[in-house]
Amino acid sequence: MEKKKPNQEVFSLYDDYCHNRIERRDFVKKLSAFAVGGWTVSELMSYLLPNYAAAKRFEKNDSRLKSEFLEYNSPKGAGKMRGLLSRAAGSSEKLPGIIVIHENRGLNPYVEDTAHQAALDGFIAFAPDALTPFGGYPGTDDEGRTLQAQRNRDEILEDFIAGYEMLKTHPECNGNVGVVGFCFGAWVSNMMAVKVPDLKAAVPFYGGQAPSEMVPSIQAPLQLHFAELDTRVNEGWPAYEAALKEHNKSHEVYFYPAANHGFHNHSTPRYDKEAAELAWSRTIEFFQKHLKA
């Protein structure tokens, strides 16, 4: 018998779990109420959790790419930070740069794929790992969330800004750098727009907004992406939008119908292929406009 797709309540419950609002024990207990229609609890767990092995789009030695891991100094005493640098193989010209900011679980394979895709789209991409002080992304999102929760988010923000400075001065970068971030990384993207005066563009995907009182400091144009069903994040948008308009800040915003938080992440069932591809095409067009001029 074919299993019926889980309802929206299941996705909302998973959203609570992966953003640390409920513990794993409570998640499993509540999930048992939805173990119907041919689903067991373990099957629902397997369905909801990311499957990076099946979704991985780029191999380590992809001949189309020139990729490596680089270290740079943390400005907040975390020692050396580490990140993935990727650009198209054979490129000899200086390229505009994109900082790719991960979610609340470290530099996982999905975010690595996103950096590689940005490279194929004509940019030099750098994806730092906030979990470097713990040895890097540990291999599972559950462990990654636990580790990242042990770090101060403002210190993480400063580490990403340092990554931006490193990329801007990289010999293969033309000095024009933007940022794209997902979930926690979207908050970082919004805050980098506040704190980095020469940031050329910021593209937050379904994440926390900067406080309204900080909006006057924003210089970079913003392109914001939201999922229609992501009520938790979306409730902060009206105040942010009002502040952006009040201070005449350049921005454009897109909402994706029937999409869930995390719709761009191709390793989970929340992935929405149509929305993800449209949002990414808009992202690349936005960066081409603001970074290649």
Architecture of the domain defined by 61-291 = 3-Layer(aba) Sandwich (3.40)
The span from the CA of 67 to the CA of 53, in Å, is: 19
Which residues are registered as beta bridge partners of 60? Answer: none
Look at residues 128, 125, 290 and name the one whose alpha carbon lies nearest to residue 219.
Answer: 290
pLDDT mean values, one per 10 residues, the chain (293 residues) = 74 88 89 81 87 91 95 84 96 93 97 98 98 96 95 96 98 98 98 98 97 98 97 96 98 97 95 97 98 83
Predicted pLDDT at 38: 75
Predicted pLDDT at 80: 93
Predicted pLDDT at 293: 66
Look at residues 28, 56, 204, 183 and name the one whose alpha carbon lies nearest to residue 117.
Answer: 56
Parts of the chain belonging to CATH 3.40.50.1820: 61-291
In degrees and rounded to multiples of 5, residue 181 shows phi and psi of -145, 155
Ramachandran region of residue 106, left (φ > 0), alpha (ψ -120 to 50) or beta? left
Predicted pLDDT at 1: 44
- Are 132 and 101 contacting, i.e. CB atoms less than 8 angstroms apart? no
Look at residues 286, 101, 261, 284 and name the one whose alpha carbon lies nearest to residue 196.
Answer: 101
Helices (H), the chain: 8-18, 24-31, 41-48, 52-55, 109-120, 141-148, 153-168, 184-195, 231-234, 237-246, 273-291
Side by side, the strands of the sheet bearing 173-182 are 65-73, 80-88, 124-129, 95-101, 173-182, 201-205, 222-227, 251-256
The span from the CA of 158 to the CA of 152, in Å, is: 10
The span from the CA of 249 to the CA of 190, in Å, is: 13
Ramachandran region of residue 135, left (φ > 0), alpha (ψ -120 to 50) or beta? left
Question: Taking the CA of residue 31 as centre, how many other CA atoms within 13 Å lie in the half-sphere pointing to its CB?
Answer: 26
